[in-house]
Chains A and B, each alone.
Chain A
């Protein structure tokens, strides 16, 4: 997931990128978070950075809250909550609109902690009265200067500074100490709290009125915080780790406040350790409970990665994996079908794999257009539709390395060199995608390579215009692009659109033509099937007719007598399976269709007969 998360992230070292983020309060936090997220390109590196930051946070918190002995362990509660913020992500990696959302809580908490550290240093180094005024000034600065850069995290820091006298018990070495400046429950203490509330309430509104003309009025208090809303629904459960952060700080503050109490002094170190360890244990249970586990999510990510690497066999290995009883999502089925097609095995194996239409495990309806459609369209030669969904995605969820990569490649295939260069140049500015961009930039020098006829001629002459990797990636797509232009739309139904458009399509290119046959097969449309079947047979005279195409022809020949199949050389296995299927059907005459689907599956699940009669109303998204 971390690897994919950085593909769905973008950080650019440009003034424009900074300016774009700073249009909203909290822009610096998102800038830093997107910067750090890119290190997940090497997951070990990103995780190491995350761990180092968490360690720093722990050390600083121990300093801020003056925790000693076993209580120091409690600082780990904060990283625990931060970990929960990350591990709960799941499908939010596609839907979260806040750039750098995986790192944002860590960056925000680091900022908050640093604000407290500065306060602590002021407290340590100034006499009581000066410390009091310095405290007011620092709190004001944190809110006023911090807000445009860190958004709601600056408000959080202000709140903690407002209550910090509660925890600021002087330890012998300090000159003043906030506790003596702001005696608990005294007028000054209340004034400080009221002032903090005033700052938190008023400053975002002032920024709204005068600076940030792009932020909704109520959202100013949640700026730079992830928003767990999609469309009309709000998913409050995902906020729990953020409440856990608040709880962790409350625990630290309370422990710190009670540090000098008689009760605390009476507590033995072992008892403190047990309390601290118990709290940590509860936190671990909380993290485990929030951890997103979903087999299909993991498989989708793995298949996506395999397709990006053009490792089609790996896609099939993942599709075959039967370690879970959960049926696949349509996206997984489409990835599998694409892999089979690319390996030239679709006609023999397309029904050999588990079918399914399991909804993605998310509390909202996950749409294929928003997760895997770009990849699917790209490899099916629907470059404009791939480009379209990249653009839609960029507009709605922000620009990502992944979308720029697709846009660069579709622009190459569409022979739009200048705009391809634009996207490649942007990618070249990133820290980790530069090499990728430079590899594809080379293709700009060979525009003829994207003309299928010229590419094939060059390959035949032994001097292919593309390198091996380019041939492997682009040549099949160019074959799939051999169809005339027309106006169309997918209505966000990727699979349905592809089946229909190929099923009703007509082309001379062998690869494209086979896809039209597969489309007709999926549509179960007999009239569409026969011309495509005949064309396949005549254009591939040396190829043994794949099993599923034979099955369809044999079945349709029996269902309707429009085409004479008596002279067709069907495999004996195809005939036998058909006979067995029909006989079994007679035996199961009284069963409902649902019962038949279960009963037939072990014997006939891998046949077109089963698909034709017993796979119905397959939902797609």
Chain B
């Protein structure tokens, strides 16, 4: 009797076990049984492409990309959905308005597609009023050009002044794994907030990365082949600590811009924020000797966003010329005249032997076109330079007219600046423009009129607007993959407010395929996500230093960089 009782399970344990299995079944049941489906045998064809999110219709993807999960947008009359994905001779049918083939099936599809003509054909069937409709089929092209397996980015709410929870993350592009490189909350409390920004790796190398920590425990964190250190780059002779970085492709050298940056707020315009520099120069930092050397020091030139060419011979950057005219406060004067601050594209030659820079060369006179450029990025083969162009300013993520442009560097020559009277240029828009046009339309019309009247120079032949990847909304930060076959760039095309990373295939001749949004396991993830992706950059692999290791280095005092004047 006692023996029998001993073997009995207590009632609470049995109830718990049953509940556990019910929950487990509910959680996994859909994944196991709900995803496969039967393709309808009879249906009516329509000529409309399915409305899917993200828009993966006709995109080109690398073979090693994570599955392209998407959601079928529909009205309430649609009651059932089946999607057939066909690659080569094999087909997979999936049910539901969330099309999520998963990793295993996706890999099989990609393999089959590559073995055949390179496409995954997708048919979406939607059931309405007991009738099945087949939407116009579309294709996803699988490219044999692989993509770097990782990207890094900062996740930040598109906020204004406050920051609470900022993270530098890395994402494996081959699946959906996302992990933390460093999050500011690990070293923050109510009293001491911390901002983190401007992460950047040397030639895609996850073992050589840097990022900045501002305010509490501030400094520049540099991880170089296993050694992590925090450096204070501010010297008495420079505007600020290092801000926007660019690594030399091979040596332990970084060129930074130093900036005095402020922001103000639009009262009506949906652009909402204007970020402006009131001072900015370039500095050179040698990690081995821990020295900072100013490169540019002119207070009337705002030099920003440097980028080292892959051969290490040039540093490209943008610069705006601004001379103070009024007696009012400089910051206020700039705020009042923010549309007149326009940036040109320059480069300075670099002599590796003595680590010196030559005189600057104007590569693109954007100001003469009433435009302003930012973020020059040279392709790994050194042939192409991609930059962002808008009407004014340097912080184009808040400018909805900002587009990506491409320059063929084999055709690029230093040019002389064209002097155009800015007063004439701006006066034009006052009386020649249609009153019912919106601001953006007015600017486009005004620019074409200016061009006709010689108040604006035409776009040089070796530069083009990459219309195939641009959208009516913001395109801004961009970086090339290590093989030059892909670019990842920030865009606000989804909703105008939240920045999302998009990837486009480059054919090697300056042309791109339709970009696709960073795939997520939950296809509607970005519709729910309340943060922006900042500075998406490719990496050869994951950063292996844990956030806690970065945190302990950040807690220590920064090593002060020494000023070195040449």
Residues of A within 8 A of B (CB): 12, 14-17, 118, 121, 125, 208-209, 213-217, 219, 227, 229-232, 382, 384-385, 387-388, 391-392, 394-396, 399, 414-416, 418-419, 421-422, 425-426, 481, 483-489, 501
Contacts and interface: CB of A to CB of B under 8 A. Distances in A.
Contacts of A125: 10
Contacts of A392: 159-162
Contacts of B180: 213-214
A232 B193 CA distance: 11
A213 B188 contact: no
Interface string B526-566: 01111000000000000000111001000000000000000
Contact of B265 (A422, A483, A487): A487
A394 B164 CA distance: 9
A214 B167 contact: yes
User: 8 shortest A-B CB distances, which residue pairs?
Assistant: A213-B547, A485-B268, A229-B190, A419-B495, A418-B495, A487-B264, A214-B183, A485-B269
B496 A16 contact: no
B267 A485 contact: yes
A391 B158 contact: yes
Indicate the member of A125, A422, A425 with the most B CB atoms within 10 Å: A422
A216 B189 contact: yes
Given A214-B180, A384-B272, A219 B189 contact: yes
15 contacts: A213-B548, A214-B167, A214-B186, A227-B190, A388-B160, A391-B159, A394-B157, A395-B157, A396-B162, A416-B495, A416-B496, A419-B497, A485-B269, A486-B267, A487-B264
Contacts of B227: none
Interface of B: 10, 12, 157-165, 167, 180, 182-183, 185-191, 264-270, 272, 274, 335-336, 338, 494-498, 522, 525, 527-530, 546-548, 551
Contacts of A12: 528
A216 B547 CA distance: 11
A213 B186 contact: yes
A384 B185 contact: no
A486 B525 CA distance: 35
A15 B176 CA distance: 14
A241 to B, nearest CB: 20
Given A422-B527, A426-B528, A384 B267 contact: yes
Contact of A384 (B162, B183, B268): B268
A481 B265 contact: no
B445 to A, nearest CB: 19
Given A214-B180, A392-B162, A16 B267 contact: no
Contacts of A213: 180, 182-183, 186, 546-548, 551
A251 B497 CA distance: 55
Contact of B10 (A14, A121, A416, A421): A121
Contacts of A481: 268
Contacts of A396: 162, 164
A420 to B, nearest CB: 9
Nearest to B273: A388
A94 to B, nearest CB: 14
Contacts of B529: 16
A214 B551 CA distance: 10
A422 B495 contact: yes
Contact of A391 (B10, B160, B167): B160
Contact of B157 (A14, A215, A391, A415): A391
A215 B272 contact: no
A228 to B, nearest CB: 10
B397 to A, nearest CB: 15
Contacts of B163: 395
Contact of B264 (A15, A415, A421, A488): A488
A426 B264 CA distance: 29
A426 B530 CA distance: 10
Given A229-B189, A394-B159, A418-B495, 14 more contacts: A16-B525, A16-B528, A118-B12, A208-B548, A217-B551, A384-B266, A392-B159, A419-B497, A422-B497, A485-B268, A486-B268, A487-B264, A487-B338, A488-B267
B497 A487 contact: no
Indicate the member of A125, A231, A382 with the most B CB atoms within 10 Å: A125
Contacts of B274: 487
A489 B157 CA distance: 19
A11 to B, nearest CB: 13
B270 A394 contact: no
Contact of A416 (B267, B270, B547): B270
A321 to B, nearest CB: 35
B527 A214 contact: no
B195 to A, nearest CB: 12
Contacts of A415: 270
B192 to A, nearest CB: 9
B221 to A, nearest CB: 15
Contacts of B497: 416, 419, 422
Contacts of B530: 394, 399
Contacts of B272: 384, 387-388
Given A214-B185, A392-B162, A396-B164, A384 B527 contact: no
Contact of A487 (B270, B335, B498): B335
Contacts of B267: 382, 384-385, 483, 485-488, 501
Indicate the member of A395, A418, A486 with the most B CB atoms within 10 Å: A395
A572 B548 CA distance: 77
A12 B496 CA distance: 23
A174 B529 CA distance: 53
A418 B335 CA distance: 30
Contacts of A416: 270, 495-497
A17 to B, nearest CB: 8
Contacts of B525: 16
Contacts of B336: 487
A227 B164 CA distance: 15
A394 B183 CA distance: 18
Given A214-B180, A231-B191, A418 B494 contact: yes
B111 to A, nearest CB: 29
Contacts of B186: 213-217
Indicate the member of B183, B265, B268, B546 with the most A CB atoms within 10 Å: B268
Contact of A215 (B10, B162, B185, B522): B185
Contacts of A422: 495, 497-498, 527
A388 to B, nearest CB: 5
Contacts of A219: 189
B11 to A, nearest CB: 9
Given A215-B186, A229-B191, A485-B269, A15 B338 contact: no
A216 B185 CA distance: 6
A489 B275 CA distance: 13
Contacts of A484: 268
Contacts of A17: 528
Contacts of B548: 208-209, 213
A483 B266 CA distance: 12
A130 to B, nearest CB: 10
Contacts of B496: 416, 418-419
B270 A395 contact: no
Nearest to B6: A127
B238 to A, nearest CB: 27
Contacts of A382: 267
A399 B530 CA distance: 9
B482 to A, nearest CB: 27
A395 B336 CA distance: 29
Contacts of B264: 487-489
Nearest to B555: A217
Contacts of A14: 528
A256 B335 CA distance: 71
A212 to B, nearest CB: 8
Nearest to A487: B264
Given A396-B162, A399-B530, A419-B495, A216 B12 contact: no
A247 to B, nearest CB: 26
Contacts of B12: 118, 121
A388 B522 contact: no
